[in-house]
Amino acid sequence: KPPSYIFHKSVRGMLPHKFARGEEALGRLKVFEGIPYPYDHKKRMVVPEALKVLRLKSHRKYCTLGDVARLGGWTQKDVVEKVEARRIEKSEKFWQMKQKKVAARKQAAGSKEVAKFNEELAKFGF
């Protein structure tokens, strides 16, 4: 069974899914393998309270959901890793291009040629 299914079932067990409120809450839950298209372009953030190094003591044993799923018969881990590696590579290219654009914009803002246009725009309130 895929890790997303295992997670969905575990959350379902925590919700009162037989009642309207729980059914609506479960309907709003979205689980995926990896990061799909619309969400890979969103800015991600780190929640410090959830970091493994802060939450787990060094002597505690742990396992990931992917490992549990693999032991349960899930065989698609290599496919998901390949797609994730491609996504990370694409994301890195996007980040490099964004940094180039930011540097070019900063350089252009300090240019004397652009200063003339900025003065003209300032007269009109821009």
Q: Is the pLDDT of residue 126 over 80?
A: no
Q: CA of 34: how far to CAs of 10, 17, 79, 80, 102, in Å?
A: 18, 26, 10, 7, 29
pLDDT of residue 22: 95
pLDDT of residue 34: 85
Distance in Å from the first CA to the final CA of the chain: 57
pLDDT of residue 43: 87
Q: CA of 95: how far to CAs of 36, 40, 42, 102, 106, in Å?
A: 18, 12, 13, 10, 16
Pairwise pLDDT comparison (42 vs 126), residue with the higher score: 42
Q: Is the pLDDT of residue 25 over 80?
A: yes
pLDDT of residue 54: 86
Q: What is the pTM of this model?
A: 0.62
Q: If 0-12 CB within 10 Å is exposed, 13-18 middle and 19+ buried, where does residue 25 land?
A: middle
d(CA 111, CA 7): 54
The per-residue pLDDT for range 38-65, each reduced to its tens digit, is: 888 888 899 999 888 888 888 999 988 8
- Which residues have CB under 8 Å from 16's CB, separation 6+? 22
One-letter amino acid identity for 36? P
Which of 60, 61, 1, 51 has the alpha carbon at shortest distance from 31? 1
Tokens of 110: 């300090």
The per-residue pLDDT for range 67-110, each reduced to its tens digit, is: 899 888 989 888 888 988 998 899 899 999 999 999 998 888 77
